[in-house]
């Protein structure tokens, strides 16, 4: 195992039920701050990360041979890390065993009774909300075996006698909407499977193309890349490359979702319109929306799939091919 002394290692804690896109966003944020990334939880492997660990205790043991100078703990369900946060945390470690972003609260705090009514109240003055990530010297990690979340680790550190510095939490950058459009068309060809929006649809012919020719996903990818101002699908997956011959277009859409995450953004909604006389799309629309939402790592209600015809006009009206257009709205940090 390679030793990377004087490095910063990061542990990404993934609570059950965290959306895949949030995990990818958090991982992308940590890659800008750490030399090593190790996720914890029952999740699929993350690109450029060490294989996932089952627990924080295992993660700390696996990172120890790398001799990092500092360790970051971050909660994947709070993925964004405002600029300057990690630098401030690492600077605070010069005089403390650990450091955590803290946001002062205002107003009044109240305990909640079992029946939902307010219990004892007190002013919030002097109370801070702890944020993620938490930074600590590597030796302090030995006390964190039971922790399930980064912010919960602070209590364990204090109980072990470690000094914990509070760093003012930085404001998240405002998210601005960006809209992209996409259009694609493929010719129908006998002997091929018909795959639309990630779902195989029974039909007498399929779409011809270098990949599986999923016209719906291709249009949606172009819409996302357009909203990001990152070109089109051909720029990222050139049809001249043999690697993408008959490829599952799901790979392309996952890449587009990862690009949103890498930019610190989120998908607000996606709308795909399939243009064809046959087959009928309505019986498959719900499955298509569910499949696209899964690939994008968002709730199904953020994705729409519908269909229309050209009243038997043009190549789609003559049932020579199928076209698709898509619109994607994403939110990106200003």
Confidence of residue 31 (pLDDT cuts 50, 70, 90): confident
Confidence of residue 146 (pLDDT cuts 50, 70, 90): low
Q: Which CATH entry fits the domain spanning 175-333: 3.40.640.10, 3.30.1330.50, 3.20.10.10, 3.40.190.10?
A: 3.30.1330.50
Confidence of residue 32 (pLDDT cuts 50, 70, 90): confident
Q: Given phi > 0 = left and psi -120 to 50 = alpha, else beta, which region is 191?
A: left
Confidence of residue 142 (pLDDT cuts 50, 70, 90): low
Inform me whether the pLDDT recorded for 88 exceeds 70.
yes
pLDDT at 4: 46
pLDDT averaged over every residue in the chain = 88
Q: Is the Cβ–Cβ distance between 2 and 63 less than 8 Å? A: no
Residue 159 vs residue 139, higher pLDDT = 159
What does the pLDDT look like over 52-83, one tens digit per residue? Answer: 888 888 888 888 888 888 999 999 888 788 88
In whole angstroms, what is the distance from residue 94 CA to residue 72 CA? 15
pLDDT at 111: 83
Q: Which of 12, 100, 28 is nearest to 63 (CA)?
A: 12
> Which CATH code is given to the segment(s) 8-168?
3.90.550.10
pLDDT at 199: 96
Confidence of residue 1 (pLDDT cuts 50, 70, 90): very low
- Greatest Cα pair distance, the chain, in angstroms, is 77
Across 132-146, 297-311, 312-326, least confident range: 132-146
pLDDT at 3: 43
Q: What's the pTM?
A: 0.63
In whole angstroms, what is the distance from residue 166 CA to residue 170 CA? 12
Inform me whether the pLDDT recorded for 331 exceeds 50.
yes
Inform me whether the pLDDT recorded for 140 exceeds 60.
no
Inform me whether the pLDDT recorded for 8 exceeds 60.
yes
Question: What is the separation of C-alpha 42 from the centre of its chain, rounded to a whole number of angstroms?
Answer: 16
What does the pLDDT look like over 238-277, one tens digit per residue? Answer: 888 878 787 899 999 999 988 888 787 889 999 999 999 9
Confidence of residue 310 (pLDDT cuts 50, 70, 90): very high
Question: What is the separation of C-alpha 76 from the centre of its chain, rounded to a whole number of angstroms?
Answer: 9
Confidence of residue 89 (pLDDT cuts 50, 70, 90): very high
Once rounded to an integer, what is the mean pLDDT over residues 6-18?
86
Q: Is the Cβ–Cβ distance between 52 and 12 less than 8 Å? A: no
Which of 111-125, 143-157, 163-177, 226-240 reaches the highest mean pLDDT?
A: 226-240
Inform me whether the pLDDT recorded for 144 exceeds 70.
no
Per domain, the residue ranges of the chain are 8-168, 175-333
- Paired sense of beta strands 108-112 and 118-123, if any: antiparallel
In whole angstroms, what is the distance from residue 79 CA to residue 26 CA? 4
């Amino acid at each position: 195992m390679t030793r990377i002394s004087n490095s910063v290692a990061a542990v990404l804690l993934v609570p059950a039920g965290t959306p895949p896109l949030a995990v990818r966003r958090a991982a992308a944020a940590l890659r800008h701050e750490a030399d090593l990334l190790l996720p914890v939880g029952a999740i699929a492997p993350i690109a450029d990360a060490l294989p996932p660990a089952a627990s924080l205790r295992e993660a700390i043991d696996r990172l120890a041979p790398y001799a990092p100078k500092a360790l970051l703990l971050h909660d994947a369900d709070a993925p964004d890390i405002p600029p300057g946060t990690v630098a401030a945390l690492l600077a605070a470690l010069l005089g403390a065993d650990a450091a955590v972003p803290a946001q002062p609260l205002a107003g009044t705090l109240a305990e909640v009774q079992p029946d939902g009514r307010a219990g004892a109240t007190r002013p919030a003055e002097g109370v801070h909300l702890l944020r993620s990530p938490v930074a600590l010297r590597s030796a302090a990690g030995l006390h964190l075996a039971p922790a399930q979340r980064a912010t919960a680790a602070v209590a364990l550190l204090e109980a072990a006698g470690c000094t914990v510095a509070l760093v003012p939490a930085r404001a998240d950058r405002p998210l601005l909407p960006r809209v992209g459009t996409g259009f694609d068309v493929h010719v129908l060809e006998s002997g091929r499977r018909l795959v639309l929006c990630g779902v195989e649809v029974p039909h007498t012919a399929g779409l011809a193309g270098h990949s599986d020719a999923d016209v719906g996903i291709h249009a949606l990818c172009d819409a996302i890349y357009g909203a990001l101002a990152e070109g089109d699908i051909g720029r990222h997956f050139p049809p001249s490359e043999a690697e993408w011959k008959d490829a599952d277009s799901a790979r392309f859409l996952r890449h587009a979702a990862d690009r949103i995450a890498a930019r610190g953004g989120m998908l607000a909604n996606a709308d795909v319109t399939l243009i064809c006389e046959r087959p009928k799309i309505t019986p498959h629309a719900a499955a298509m929306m569910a499949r696209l939402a899964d690939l994008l790592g968002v709730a199904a209600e953020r994705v729409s799939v519908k269909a229309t015809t050209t009243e038997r006009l043009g190549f789609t009206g003559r049932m020579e091919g199928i076209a698709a257009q898509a619109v994607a709205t994403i939110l990106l940090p200003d």
